Amino acid sequence: MKVQNVCVLGATGSIGESTLDVISRHPERFKVYALSAYSRIGKLVEQAVSSAAPVVVVPDDEAARSFRSRWPAGRPIPEIRIGAEALVATASDPEVSTVMAAIVGTAGLPAALAAARAGKRVLLANKEALVAAGGLFMQAVRDSGAELLPIDSEHNAIFQCLPEDAERARAPQRPAKGVRRLLLTASGGPFRTTALDALHDVTPEQACAHPNWSMGRKISVDSATMLNKGLEVIEAHWLFAMDADRIEVVIHPQSLVHSMVEYEDGSILAQLGQPDMRTPIAYGLGFPERIDSGVGLFDLARMQKLDFEPPEPERFPCLTLAYEALRAGQSSCISLNAANEVAVDRFLAGRIRYTEIPQIIGECLERLESVSCRPTTLEDVLEHDRHARAVAAELCLLRA
């Protein structure tokens, strides 16, 4: 068995920590080659010590000094690589066989794309790589022969429910044979039953209190607005070559059915499991084999019931905006993601209200509707992203 050298981009986040937990259970199969972090340098030191990673990547000289000062005396210190270019170089390093792309936001796009271009096995937990650059990213996978394994629980579930095919981990150019539609499940977040007129006064702390999953603050807000589900619809379009009309979102509060695939004969295959990200991570690391994830037994007898309901457009306008952006084209998807990142940042800082998040995204999409482009390079994507962020920031200031 060939040992996989794994690079974990975004190692100190929840996905990164879960990845390292799974890796630690299989020392005969995986070795950690590189870890990256942005701000939690103390945590990065702990991870580098426990995993014996020979390489770490940090954002700047100050972070590098902090890493060195925290490193325990008497132990060989890892090679410290610095900056965004080092992140790209490490993701495409010849020593690396597998890349966990778990950096949140557009910041993670260049390194994830570099890993795809270098023909790595890419475990994709970064939504923005496909939302902002789906065409570019999937072409890179096709050109290089990379393997692409989705790590979002919903896309991983769909991937598991698709027909067994040796090419499943390649970039599809058409939907899998016999598939009628994809059903993405959503928890509905913390405000699924909250009175609509009360949403105006929602606080960041309330929005970050997800009922089922433990996630970072930005992702938790995206789950509350269901913008995350909209991004997942866009992802599913690229991952599985499905049109928007064949991708449906259904609210499932228990978060036990992670997603489903409906076939032409009426059969629906669902993937069930505990709400623990180690399951999809282990599936991606071990594919096509299944390996121990550390997740305990799933007690079906205690499940009692499974509820499903359609999302209310009035409660979740961000979901509608995402469908509109997908139908409008790649540049609108870039605008959607960029405007959301800006709006959520301002909401978490207490500078705009929760209900203003979809308003800002919608207005940004309208303003940039005429600036339609089909990005063919990474710079095209990043330039449109910068433009959209500037527009969204201006719209936020108008509400301050």
Q: State the Cα–Cα distance between residues 104 and 266, nearest whole angstrom.
A: 37
Whole-model pTM: value is: 0.93
pLDDT value of position 89: 98
Q: What is the largest CA-CA distance in the chain?
A: 64
Assess if CATH 3.40.50.720 describes domain 4-150.
yes
CA distance 102 to 35: 11
pLDDT tens-digit profile, the chain (400 residues): 789 999 999 999 999 999 999 999 999 999 999 999 999 999 999 999 999 999 999 999 999 999 999 999 999 999 999 999 999 999 999 999 999 999 988 889 999 999 999 999 999 998 889 999 999 999 999 999 999 999 999 999 999 999 987 678 888 889 999 999 999 999 999 999 999 999 999 999 999 987 776 677 888 999 999 999 999 999 999 999 999 999 999 999 998 999 999 999 999 999 999 889 999 999 999 999 999 999 999 888 877 789 999 999 999 999 999 999 999 999 999 999 999 999 999 999 999 999 999 999 999 999 998 776 778 899 999 999 999 999 999 999 988 7
Domain ranges of the chain: 4-150
Instruction: Give the pLDDT confidence score for residue 49 in this predicted structure.
Output: 98
